[in-house]
């Protein structure tokens, strides 16, 4: 059964559209990824000069923010559902048993063009992911964040999937250390409301006609959510204790 949180009391028009990427959009997405990753992770950026195989896979969607002025892609986010295959993080981290058999969607390749609207674009792409999770009865909205990006997810009340404040070497981002985090879909809205999160109104009380996920493929097939394999042992760092652990 789908869980939806409807408290709409206003409508907001955005200066861009958020929608599912078309094949032609993906070329722009690739250029944006190279630009964004090249600033901090050049080794990863070097592999992103063209669309990736995951951009076309069933169970994955690429959401893009496109300028209304000239259709330029100014932000993108790819989602991976564990409907047919493990999540990207599962190549590097064994999920705790409480996640076995649950529906999860991981957001990857979050890239935003720098500018005055960057924060609004980021919030809109994350709202698109949240709506996508709602539509597909997903239980956990998953993300990974390198230091200090992980603090953004802390601010969104994401929780650590495994050990608290531990960073794991993630295969899908070049082996760099990231925290693995998730937002429980069932309690996320309540958590934000009780904590008076500034994005609660944006996510749950405002209708954004420009955030349109109707182009996403419905995941109305049996989900293969069981844990399939053990991830290889990875280097990780516990920053809270100042220790390097394996």
- Residue 108, helix vs strand vs coil: strand
- The confidence score (pLDDT) of residue 16 equals 98
Domain hosting residue 145, numbered range? 10-215+233-245
Please identify which residue in the block is written with the tokens 């990231």: 178
Domain membership of residue 1 (yes or no) is no
- The confidence score (pLDDT) of residue 122 equals 98
d(CA 245, CA 107): 26
| Cβ neighbours, 10 Å, residue 71 | 13
| Cβ neighbours, 10 Å, residue 16 | 22
For residue 242, pLDDT beyond 80: no
Domain tally for the chain?
1
Task: Give the CATH number for residue 166.
Answer: 3.40.630.30
pLDDT digits (tens, 9 = 90+) for 182-241: 999 999 999 999 999 999 999 999 999 999 999 999 898 888 765 554 455 455 555 443
pLDDT digits (tens, 9 = 90+) for 99-115: 999 999 999 999 999 99
| Percent of the chain with pLDDT strictly greater than 90 | 78
The model's pTM: 0.89
- The confidence score (pLDDT) of residue 173 equals 86
Domain membership of residue 221 (yes or no) is no
Compute and round to an integer the Cα radius of gyration of the chain.
Answer: 17
Segments of the chain assigned E as strands: 10-11, 16-20, 60-67, 73-81, 104-112, 140-145, 159-160, 166-170, 176-184, 206-207, 236-238, 243-245
Domain membership of residue 131 (yes or no) is yes
For the chain, the average pLDDT equals: 89
pLDDT digits (tens, 9 = 90+) for 59-84: 999 999 999 999 999 999 999 999 99
Domain membership of residue 166 (yes or no) is yes
71: left (phi over 0), alpha (psi -120 to 50) or beta: left
Domain membership of residue 14 (yes or no) is yes
Under the banding of pLDDT at 50, 70 and 90, the label for residue 18 is: very high
d(CA 124, CA 101): 29
Domain membership of residue 4 (yes or no) is no
Domain membership of residue 227 (yes or no) is no
Domain membership of residue 226 (yes or no) is no
Query: According to the 3-state scheme, what is the secondary structure of 150-185?
Result: HHHHHHCCCEECCCCCEEEEEHHHCCEEEEEEEEEH
């Amino acid at each position: 059964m789908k869980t939806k949180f409807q408290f709409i009391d206003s409508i907001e028009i955005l200066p861009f559209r958020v929608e599912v990427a078309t094949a032609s959009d993906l070329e722009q997405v690739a250029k944006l990824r190279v630009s964004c990753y090249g600033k901090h992770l050049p080794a990863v950026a070097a592999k992103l000069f063209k669309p990736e195989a995951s951009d076309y896979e069933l169970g994955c969607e690429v959401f893009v923010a496109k300028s209304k002025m000239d259709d330029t892609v100014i932000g993108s986010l790819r989602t991976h559902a564990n409907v047919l295959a493990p999540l990207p993080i599962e190549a590097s981290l064994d999920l705790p048993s409480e996640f076995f058999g649950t529906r999860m969607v991981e957001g990857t390749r979050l890239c935003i063009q720098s500018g005055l609207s960057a924060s609004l674009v980021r919030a809109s792409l994350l709202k698109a992911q949240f709506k996508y999770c709602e539509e597909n009865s997903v239980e956990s909205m998953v993300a990974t964040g390198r230091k200090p990006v992980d603090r953004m997810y802390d601010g969104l009340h994401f929780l650590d999937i495994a050990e608290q404040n531990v960073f794991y070497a993630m295969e899908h981002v070049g082996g760099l250390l990231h925290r693995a985090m998730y937002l429980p879909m069932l309690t996320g809205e309540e958590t934000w409301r009780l904590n008076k999160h500034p994005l609660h109104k944006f996510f749950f009380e405002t209708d954004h006609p420009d955030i349109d996920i109707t182009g996403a493929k419905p995941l109305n097939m049996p989900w293969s959510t069981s844990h399939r394999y053990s991830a290889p042992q990875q280097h990780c760092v516990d920053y809270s204790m100042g220790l390097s652990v394996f």
